[in-house]
Amino acid sequence: MNNKGNFAQDIVRELKKVTWPTKQETIKYVTNVIVFSFIVAAILGLLDLVFFHVLENYIIK
């Protein structure tokens, strides 16, 4: 039982050491992730269209 209590106390102690981001930093990071995700989705969508076009018109007849 003592080890579990120490484990929980260690978790709390370590969480107090964490430098948490500010609200503005969190908004900035989330915005960056969303923008990057849309960019990657757009690139993959364009590649899909190109490959579909190539396969449909030149490979599969």
Stated pTM of the model: 0.66
Question: What does the pLDDT read at residue 6?
Answer: 86
Whole-number Å distance between alpha carbons of 28 and 3: 40
Chain length of the chain: 61
Question: What does the pLDDT read at residue 47?
Answer: 98
Whole-number Å distance between alpha carbons of 6 and 20: 24
Question: What does the pLDDT read at residue 58?
Answer: 85
Q: Are 21 and 29 in contact (CB under 8 A)?
A: yes
**Is the pLDDT reported for residue 3 higher than 70?**
no
